[in-house]
Amino acid sequence: MADVSATDDRASGALVTGGARGIGRAIAERLARRGDVVFIADVDGTAAEATAAALRSAGLDVRGLELDVADAASVAVAVERIDDEEPLGTVVNNAGIGFVTPLVDITPEQFDTLMGVNLRGVFLVLQAAAKRMIPRGHGAIVNLASTSSFTASTTPMVPYDTSKGAVRMLTIAAARELAATGVRVNAVAPGTVNTDLTRSLSDDPDALDQLAATHIPVGRLGRPEEIAAAVDFLSSDDASYVTGHVLVVDGGWLT
Ligand SMILES: NC(=O)c1ccc[n+]([C@@H]2O[C@H](COP(=O)([O-])OP(=O)(O)OC[C@H]3O[C@@H](n4cnc5c(N)ncnc54)[C@H](O)[C@@H]3O)[C@@H](O)[C@H]2O)c1
């Protein structure tokens, strides 16, 4: 019987949005080490190129470019250009922002800006990638959700939590619609990971240690590499029968 479980012709291009630092950088490195040609697309184009250069100096094929995922026209052009250069087998919607502000003080502009990156940006990149992947009959898209997709943050982050809840449903709905095309859509939901984003949310240097002690059963923050490992799995052929799944990687936070 023919083996229809694996895709021998898996495209080796990988796009990681927001890959200049933090979780995205670890994902870019992990995918490059498995042999993908990785494109880091970040609103901070200088940092994207610097990270790509650092990874290239380690012998990896990584390219950097400037991209604001909330800008529909730029996303469409960038995804087409990247896919022409190296057909995309993997797309990771990692770019995200967050801020801590009481609900009653949030401006409409702040709300729209956050949703523009965290939700609209994921939709735009996913849609542009799907247009290229569907005709090839395969592709893996992985979105960065959060434990905030399931439960409210311990600090006032209503727009962020709302965006991550929506990313979870965007993942599930897109996965169902695209399942028959061979394009898989999954998400990874990190708990609290030690990155610039996490450190920017508090002025108290001890706050993260206290959070780990009180809320994270394993007693420590997550490492970007631990999130990258989950993205690697979901975007690999080992996950060929996995779609519409949200893989929680949180040190037991949600237990
Ligand atoms: N750090 C955590 O604890 C944690 C937990 C759950 C989920 N997440 C999610 O993981 C993802 C990465 O988080 P992180 O902690 O590494 O963040 P980070 O702030 O360290 O890095 C985010 C990167 O995204 C880029 N970016 C921001 N806006 C962009 C835009 N409009 N277009 C393109 N790039 C943009 C930034 O320049 C930066 O390089 C985010 O989606 C975040 O919500 C993080």
Predicted confidence (pLDDT) per residue in 110-126, tens digit: 999 999 999 999 999 99
Q: Is the pLDDT of residue 1 over 90?
A: no
Q: How confident is the model at residue 9 (pLDDT cuts 50, 70, 90)?
A: low
Q: Is the pLDDT of residue 224 over 80?
A: yes
Question: C-alpha dihedral over 101, 22, 64, 238, to 10 degrees?
Answer: -120
DSSP assigned state of 186: E
DSSP string, 64-77: EEE--TT-HHHHHH
What integer pLDDT is reported at residue 205 of this predicted model? 78
User: For residue 234, how many other CB atoms are within 10 A of its CB?
Assistant: 25
φ/ψ of residue 7, rounded to 5: -110, 95
User: pTM for this one?
Assistant: 0.96
Q: What is the pLDDT of residues 34-71, one digit of tens each?
A: 999 999 999 999 999 999 999 999 999 999 999 999 99
Q: What is the pLDDT of residues 84-114, one digit of tens each?
A: 999 999 999 999 999 999 999 999 999 999 9
Residue 41 near residue 93, CB atoms below 8 Å? no
Options 3.40.50.720, 3.90.180.10, 3.90.380.10, 1.20.120.50; which CATH number does 13-249 get? Answer: 3.40.50.720
What integer pLDDT is reported at residue 230 of this predicted model? 99
Residue 250, classified by CB atoms within 10 Å of its CB into exposed (0-12), middle (13-18) or buried (19+), is buried
Closest by Cα among 93, 70, 79 to 168: 93
Q: What is the mean pLDDT of the chain?
A: 95
Q: Is the pLDDT of residue 4 over 60?
A: no
Domain residue ranges of the chain, discontinuous segments joined by +:
13-249
Closest atom, ligand 1, to C-alpha of 148: 6
Using CA atoms, how far apart are residues 160 and 189, in angstroms rounded to an integer? 13
Q: What angle do CA 126, 228, 157 make, to 5 degrees?
A: 70
Residue 193 near residue 224, CB atoms below 8 Å? yes
Closest atom, ligand 1, to C-alpha of 20: 39
Q: Is the pLDDT of residue 2 over 80?
A: no
Using CA atoms, how far apart are residues 39 and 61, in angstroms rounded to an integer? 9
* Three-class DSSP category at 91: strand
Question: How far apart are the CA of 97 and the centre of ligand 1, in A?
Answer: 5
User: Across the chain, how many H-helices and E-strands are there?
Assistant: 9, 7
Amino acid (1-letter code) at residue 145: A
Residue located via tokens 């108290």:
204
Residue 241 is among the residues annotated as catalytic for this protein: no
| Residue of 97, 161, 225 best suited for mutating to test ligand 1, as the one with most atoms within 8 Å of CB | 97
Q: Is the pLDDT of residue 7 over 60?
A: no
Tell me which residue has its CA closest to atom 9 in ligand 1: 144
What integer pLDDT is reported at residue 204 of this predicted model? 87
Distances in Å between the Cα of 10 and the Cα atoms of 34, 88, 133, 168, 241 are 13, 9, 11, 25, 15
User: For residue 137, how many other CB atoms are within 10 A of its CB?
Assistant: 11
Q: What is the pLDDT of residues 129-188, one digit of tens each?
A: 999 999 999 999 999 999 999 999 999 999 999 999 999 999 999 999 999 999 999 999
Q: Is the pLDDT of residue 232 over 60?
A: yes
Span of 6-20, 71-85, 218-232 with lowest mean pLDDT: 6-20
pLDDT > 70: percent of the chain: 96
Terminus-to-terminus CA distance in the chain, angstroms?
42
What integer pLDDT is reported at residue 226 of this predicted model? 98
Amino acid (1-letter code) at residue 63: R
Q: Is 146 in the pocket of ligand 1 (CB under 6 A)?
A: yes
What integer pLDDT is reported at residue 8 of this predicted model? 46
